[in-house]
A and B are shown apart, each in its own frame.
Chain A
């Protein structure tokens, strides 16, 4: 018996704690959330998600496909989604680049879909087995045209499980592609995993009906009526600008209305979509704003800082997009610095600066050498900032 197998796990996690890899936990979360269709293409460091799906999906009567490339993978998922099947794909940077056009299509036709990107150092082939957060802005703006985005970031193995479930929930409720980002290290690390751990980090209030359905009972209002292949309406689905009938339109007023509606259905629900966690709330002069593996370093840095008498709080973001404007601005109003450690050259720090610079100083702390940011590095930077402030 291999311990990570889904059916083994289903029985075991209720009674004990298991050692599970992040990528496996992602696949298990998807299965628990009702994903029954997976099409993918192998790529490091995400392949274990696909391998787990290849093993498990036939056993639950689902469909697993290894396609000829990442473009075909996401397009097969969209095809399945249009029939009302809950579909997911997983990839890494180079494959994620290939999927961008289709992500725009899924957004345009309002197809629920989950895309997992386990990030490696780029650009190009880069360093396939080294962690990175270099695809944050690609996740937001990778496809062309004005479009909304739902982007989550996992920081540990439990996150890989529950944020995959959250991504499924958001994809269905908002009928849109939902992207889950993980740093390579989050996908590959093995950690204790139990229902208790998952429960401790419950992110969303209330219960959610995970019954796979294209016409989800909890669907938000700001969407066109869903067009499901196989339904009596035998609909037309197109990536052209279209009206509520699903057919193309060149009408300026309808084009404008539809594009704004696509944005509003995400933007109007930030309170639900923006998942975060504040540690040492209201007690910091410096707030470390972090996501993914850096959030774990930030949490450890908080303990170090407390020992060293440095007033720090941590804002751990699970949702990167839509932008968590309200919490960023709330924190910005009370701290002197926002320090943003990231495994890139300040991609998300720029977003925070746009939201927060009226009230605080946003400092980017980027690292792109393929190693993790350590708690010590973060605390040293905090000390430096406070020292600098004291000396002014």
Chain B
């Protein structure tokens, strides 16, 4: 079976065309995710994708596995409940920079800390697209937004640094212009037993590009590509040389740290094994 046919089977054709704007990078990364699902041979009944609110989270409406379109910022909390109730499921969270790093930032750091076996793909377009181009916590200082008409003055989050510091055991960053590399990262992230955080930089020509040159979709992809350096390249560069660059690849991978659900299962086994001594009879 060709990949193309199988990809179509993973999509709700009746709900297409999708709602994303021309030139949007979300579809490219969603495609990478679907190819990763195919490559891993995941069963649809035991695969659940949870999205929050925003442009990227709407991907869940097109993907034909178990999908939950949750409330703003809380996709990781929903996913935590699903994974703990059904440990055999593969649970993936699709979120954006507003959903995952602003309103949902607290859940992100705690999911990282727990090292629960979820894969979080954060589509970072550095703007609130769906609500009309407001500033996001990943927007670089000086950029303009509908709520920062004079340029925004806050520093931006480095989300991969945040995830690593908070305890995530698989941390990777990719760009939409290098979608094959992203597909591989997502595949590895899903295979990794622990919390996997994958930041995918995507262009938003409609709400970001219109206020911040370069404006066009292709130029935005090329701009990210020009700034991208691999982890190995970055290792040989000074802090000064890394200014303005986007470090891509697998930034952190630790397979030794205890995974949350497995740890809980051990606790249950221990407590149930000891019922006679702990119990009330």
User: Which of the 9-residue segments B191-199, B214-222, B265-273 touches chain A?
Assistant: B265-273
B68:A69 contact, CB within 8 angstroms: no
Q: Which of A7, A72, A235 makes the CB contact (< 8 A) with B281?
A: A7
Q: Which of A2, A3, A102 makes the CB contact (< 8 A) with B71?
A: A102
Chain A residues whose CB sits within 8 angstroms of the CB of B106 once the complex forms: 68-69, 72
Q: How far is the CB of A18 from chain B (nearest CB, A)?
A: 11
Taking CB atoms and an 8 Å cut-off, the chain A residues in 90-126 that contact chain B are 101-102, 105
Cα–Cα distance between A9 and B279 once the two chains are bound (Å)? 10
User: Which of the 9-residue segments B29-37, B40-48, B142-150, B182-190 touches chain A?
Assistant: B40-48
Taking CB atoms and an 8 Å cut-off, the chain A residues in 1-44 that contact chain B are 1-3, 5-9, 11-12, 37, 39
1/0 per residue, CB under 8 A from B, across A128-160: the answer is 000000000000000000000000000000000
A7:B279 contact, CB within 8 angstroms: yes
Task: Answer whether A58 and B268 are a contact pair too, CB < 8 Å, given A5-B280, A79-B81.
Answer: yes
A75:B67 contact, CB within 8 angstroms: no
Chain B residues whose CB sits within 8 angstroms of the CB of A76 once the complex forms: 77-78, 80-81, 84
Q: Which of B12, B48, B80, B86 makes the CB contact (< 8 A) with A65?
A: B80
Q: Which of B44, B78, B275 makes the CB contact (< 8 A) with A75?
A: B78
1/0 per residue, CB under 8 A from A, across B14-56: the answer is 0100000000000000000000000000001111101000000
A75:B70 contact, CB within 8 angstroms: yes
The answer to whether the Cβ of B278 comes within 8 Å of any Cβ in the partner chain is yes
B279:A5 contact, CB within 8 angstroms: yes
User: Which of the 9-residue segments A225-233, A292-300, A347-355 touches chain B?
Assistant: A225-233
B78:A79 contact, CB within 8 angstroms: yes
Task: Answer whether A63 and B70 are a contact pair too, CB < 8 Å, given A68-B107, A234-B65.
Answer: no
- Chain A interface size, as a band, is 35 or more
The answer to whether the Cβ of A366 comes within 8 Å of any Cβ in the partner chain is no
Chain B residues whose CB sits within 8 angstroms of the CB of A236 once the complex forms: 12, 60-61, 67-69
Interface centre among A6, A230, A231, A240, by most chain B C-beta atoms within 10 angstroms, is A230
Chain A residue nearest to B84 in the complex (CB)? A63
A75:B77 contact, CB within 8 angstroms: yes
Chain B residues whose CB sits within 8 angstroms of the CB of A80 once the complex forms: 81-82, 84-85
Task: Answer whether A247 and B81 are a contact pair too, CB < 8 Å, given A75-B70, A236-B61.
Answer: no
The answer to whether the Cβ of A186 comes within 8 Å of any Cβ in the partner chain is no
Cα–Cα distance between A148 and B93 once the two chains are bound (Å)? 30
The answer to whether the Cβ of B66 comes within 8 Å of any Cβ in the partner chain is yes
1/0 per residue, CB under 8 A from A, across B245-281: the answer is 0000000000000000000100110011001001111
A239:B71 contact, CB within 8 angstroms: yes
Chain A residue nearest to B103 in the complex (CB)? A71
Main secondary structure of the interface of A (DSSP, over half): mixed
Taking CB atoms and an 8 Å cut-off, the chain B residues in 206-237 that contact chain A are none
Chain A residues whose CB sits within 8 angstroms of the CB of B163 once the complex forms: none
Chain A residue nearest to B88 in the complex (CB)? A230
B280:A8 contact, CB within 8 angstroms: yes
Interface centre among A58, A231, A247, by most chain B C-beta atoms within 10 angstroms, is A58
The answer to whether the Cβ of A87 comes within 8 Å of any Cβ in the partner chain is yes
Chain A residues whose CB sits within 8 angstroms of the CB of B271 once the complex forms: 58-59
Closest 10 CB pairs of A and B: A8-B280, A79-B81, A76-B81, A75-B77, A238-B69, A72-B77, A80-B85, A79-B78, A79-B82, A80-B81
B-side interface residues toward A, CB under 8 Å?
A: 12, 15, 44-48, 50, 60-61, 64-71, 74, 77-86, 89, 106-107, 110, 264, 267-268, 271-272, 275, 278-281
8 A-B pairs besides A7-B281, A68-B110 with CB distance below 8 A are A8-B279, A59-B272, A68-B107, A79-B77, A79-B80, A105-B71, A230-B89, A237-B67
A-side interface residues toward B, CB under 8 Å?
A: 1-3, 5-9, 11-12, 37, 39, 58-59, 61, 63, 65, 67-69, 71-73, 75-83, 85, 87, 101-102, 105, 229-232, 234-240, 247-248
7 A-B Cβ contacts within 8 A?
A: A3-B280, A11-B281, A63-B85, A78-B78, A82-B78, A85-B85, A105-B70
